[in-house]
Amino acid sequence: MQEQATTGFWLSPQQEFTVKSQPSTGQGAVCLVSLEGPVSAGRLQDSLREMVARHEILRTVFRRQPGLKVPFQVVLETAEVAWQQIDLGRLDQSEYDSQVGRLFHAERTRSRRLEDGPVLWAQLITRDSDRSSLILSLPALSADAQSFKMLVREIALIYSGLQDQLPDPFRYVQFSQWQADLLQSEEEDAQQGQAFWKRWLEEPLVCPALPGEDKPEQASSLSESLSEPITVRVEKQLANVILQSPDGSMILLSAWQALVSRLSGQNAFRLGMYADSREYEELENAIGCFARILPVPTRVENNFRFSDILRQTKDAIREAVAHQEYFVPEAIGTDGELISFAYHDLGGKQEQGGVGFGLERVVVVSERFKLRLVGVRRESGVELEFHYDASRFERGAVERMANAERSSGWLGIIRIFWRRRWRIRRRRFRGCRCFLGTNGGSCWWSGTRRRQRIRRNGLCRNCLSNRRRGCQSGKRCAAASRRSPTVS
């Protein structure tokens, strides 16, 4: 039984941005937790109840007043946990993973009522006595990616009876008021921060158009347009470089910038970066919507090496993070034109109470985007998730961008720029659009061995092999006059 409350608090700037990005649906923040060992369902449910009692944000609903565009936060005195237990029986591993994936996707796309509780939804999925999965779901206004890492840690400690080791809970409504005060402050630091963002956003940089992109005639809701992401596992040697480097996330972001530049043919544009925004000690273990999407200006000049892109990216991120409290989130845009990047460190397994708790997957969407790359770090390696707006891209076009076997794809870009440190050059030549599937074959994007021959003839590899009989499409390549990026 949940007790109602009437006192309302203003939203934080992060929450207000999420509401404006998702006006028609309560998009959720969802995580998947693996449980290894015999799990007591009743004990786990009690642990979740105790965690909800500890944190106000897990008892916070969002209610609108007449005439206002955004709701208020209302903290309930008590709230229940929406609990469901599903027994999948003795399925083999592949069938079990498939069923769990379907349940996760269904929970991710489920529309939510933000006006009433329960706030936290939990599904315990059992297969046998030693293998279970737990899906946790919250409104996107209540949690960011780092919050789920804290949630899993707290669940494990409470489940094992070690509540005394938990830090004091943080009141999110205080953070909301503090953030709002900073944006309205007239102090010198605030004026400098506001001037920084005004100067940075004055430059007319936009997110570029990408191959295979279609602009929808009518905007759809976020839950309707988001499809299941395409996942690519980074090969071991590259993953070790990223895992061992203190700048692993910057390496991925720099390579993402290089790929976007190569695909779009533009050397100046703006991307969005998901920032945890937990630089203060009080926020390290807090649960709530703290993360921001910060704009990152990008330039990829003709003579740049990968080290130049990396250095430029690190400088831009350092400046943006230093002034992030004074950034108005809506400035990043809510029209769905954004290309963004996020990096989530899921950590390792925690053994508590005879059960191993491991965070397997996190999906948190606070912004409208057309394409988003998420780097996921685990103990076992690094994975890349390509999230996309299905109303703008067909799945095949995004798969070709993510294809690990071709130098046009994501991992190919990392190989080119990180290992060989080649320069990026753009030359006018007769390119081929087989990358988009117009000729049904591979093209110069697929590799660099024949790049000189392809550049000279202006035909793709498939067309070259059929040159005597003519191009498969019956004519020369469709992009004959297109300025295309290449590597030399």
DSSP 89: -
Q: What is the pLDDT of residue 379?
A: 80
- How far apart, in whole angstroms, are the C-alpha atoms of residue 373 and residue 230? 10
Q: What's the rounded mean pLDDT across residues 262-280?
A: 90
The residue that leads in pLDDT, 435 or 47, is 47
Considering the domain architecture, whether residues 396 and 436 belong to the same structural domain is answered as no
Band (247; pLDDT cuts 50, 70, 90): confident
Tokens of 340: 């963004």
Residue among 474, 402, 367, 375 at smallest CA distance from 211: 402
Going by their DSSP bridges, the two strands 338-345 and 369-378 should be labelled as: parallel
Measured CA to CA, the distance from residue 418 to residue 252 in angstroms comes to 10
Ramachandran quadrant class, 75 (left: phi over 0; alpha: psi -120 to 50; beta: rest): beta
What CATH number does residue 130 fall under?
Answer: 3.30.559.10
Distance CA 121, CA 114 (A): 13
Residue 272 has pLDDT above 60, yes or no: yes
Cα 93 → chain centroid: 27
345: helix, strand or coil: strand
Residues 434 and 414 in one domain: no
My answer on whether 116 and 216 are in the same domain is: no
Q: Are residues 477 and 408 in the same domain?
A: no
Shared-domain flag, residues 342 and 471: no
Which pLDDT belongs to residue 223?
52
Residue 47 and residue 86 in one domain: yes
Is the pTM value of this prediction over 0.85?
A: no
What are phi and psi for residue 281, nearest 5 degrees? -60, -35
Q: Where are the alpha helices (DSSP H) in 306-409?
A: 306-322, 395-402
Over residues 383-398, the mean pLDDT reads 89
Between vectors from CA 272 to CA 247 and to CA 292, what angle results, nearest 5°? 85
Residue 228: Cβ-neighbour burial (10 angstroms; 0-12, 13-18, 19+): middle
Please spell the DSSP secondary structure of 407-437, one letter per residue.
TTSHHHHHIIIIII-PPEEEEE-----GGGT
The terminus-to-terminus CA distance of the chain in angstroms comes to 67
Rounded to whole angstroms, the Cα distance separating 292 from 455 reads 43
For residue 442, what are the domain limits? Answer: 429-487
Q: Is the pLDDT of residue 278 over 50?
A: yes
The region of weakest confidence among 161-170, 173-182, 239-248, 437-446 is 437-446
Residue 357 covered by a domain: no
CA-closest candidate to residue 273, choices 250, 296, 291: 296
121-128 and 82-87 beta bridge pairing: parallel
pLDDT at 222: 56
* Cα–Cα distance measured from residue 188 to residue 200, given in angstroms and rounded to the nearest whole number: 18
Q: Is the pLDDT of residue 285 over 50?
A: yes
Q: Same domain for 243 and 223?
A: yes
Residue range 345-378, pLDDT digits in tens: 998 888 888 899 999 999 998 888 899 999 999 8
Q: What is the CATH number of the domain that holds 390?
A: 3.30.559.30
How many structural domains comprise the chain?
A: 3
pLDDT at 478 over 50: no
Asked if pLDDT for residue 218 goes beyond 50, the answer is yes
d(CA 459, CA 461) in angstroms, rounded, equals: 7
